[in-house]
Amino acid sequence: MAVDYYSLLTNAVGGKDAASRDRIYKDAIGLIARSQLSPEAAASHKAALREAIQRIEDDIASQETSVGNDAEINELLSTGRNWKPLIVSLCAVVAVVAASTLLYKYVATRNSGAKAGITASSSKAAQRRDTVVADLKAGVDGGSTGEGLPFALQRQVVFYRTTIVPGSIVIDRENRFLYLIDSNNSARRYGIGVAQECLKGGSFFHVIKKLEWPEWRPSDSNSKSTDVLLSATAQPGSPLGARALLLDKPSLFIHGTNSPQTIGHLVASGCIRLVNADVEDLYKRVSLDTRVVFIS
């Protein structure tokens, strides 16, 4: 009998932020790894679990961007709605797979008092967004990929319903996501960090210039002096990263970073940042005059 990981995890992650969801996903995968299943059965369950995780994240992305679906979202997130069918299915799972028994215990523990925890989780998420995360020093390479980031902030293709023309860039400053719109209600999503000065100010822009390894100067330096250029420029330790897309407004641009741990947070410098691997991927997919739409 197949395990309905989608239903189990939907209840487990309901109302939680990206970091909390990521911890639940990792714990669930770990439970299967520690079970007494055969290698073949464990691999099958892991594949089903990862598919369920992708579906859940796609659903969440759709809920964040769709308009007029409040009633449907509330119905999906309603606590206590399907507990009786869930308990019945869990009992059946216990009789078939030891790993699902462990997962049930985990879900039951996490869901106790979930309703009371929603407000606290939202408060923590707001505090995270409002706290400026410090960068690494110029010249220090903190890594170029998003492998250590929460699952939701890693580059992935997601469901995205919009009327914006495919090929455009949509930047969700509040939720820390950048979307490259594709056809068929899908988009390539990247996690971003946002500088304070780029939180507001206009909604519609265009890419006017593309730069590889943009030069970086300290904010207190004389821009006319070539002596202030740091040796970090054009290297993985550059605070502006590997690529930059300049928009048709001064100081508004999309760029890389040497501090991947700042993705998903408010940052102290730059504007809209991605990890280097992501900004390189975005750079090769967009052209000059690409439309950039900011939403909040």
**Which CATH number covers residue 176?**
2.40.440.10
**Residue 92: strand, helix, or coil:** helix
What pLDDT is attached to residue 246?
Answer: 97
Same domain for 235 and 167?
A: yes
Same domain for 113 and 245?
A: no
What pLDDT is attached to residue 73?
Answer: 38
Same domain for 179 and 275?
A: yes
Same domain for 290 and 168?
A: yes
What residues have CB less than 8 Å from 170, skipping those under 6 apart?
162, 164, 178, 179, 181, 187, 292, 293, 294, 295
Distance in angstroms (rounded) separating the CA atoms of residues 202 and 191: 21
What residues have CB less than 8 Å from 225, skipping those under 6 apart?
none
Same domain for 41 and 61?
A: yes
What pLDDT is attached to residue 233?
Answer: 64
What pLDDT is attached to residue 34?
Answer: 81
Same domain for 71 and 153?
A: no
Same domain for 155 and 67?
A: no
Question: Which one of 127, 160, 194 terminates a domain?
Answer: 127
Q: What is the mean pLDDT of each run of 10 residues along the chain (296 residues)?
A: 76 83 86 80 81 85 60 46 52 49 51 41 50 91 94 96 96 96 96 93 92 78 42 77 94 95 95 97 98 92
Same domain for 114 and 144?
A: no
Question: Which one of 109, 127, 145 terminates a domain?
Answer: 127
Same domain for 116 and 168?
A: no
Domain that holds residue 283: 133-295
Same domain for 184 and 273?
A: yes
* Angle, in degrees to the nearest 10, between helices 70-77 and 39-65: 150
Question: Which one of 87, 107, 127 terminates a domain?
Answer: 127
Same domain for 150 and 269?
A: yes
Distance in angstroms (rounded) separating the CA atoms of residues 241 and 141: 10
Q: Within 10 Å of residue 107's Cβ, how many Cβ atoms? A: 20
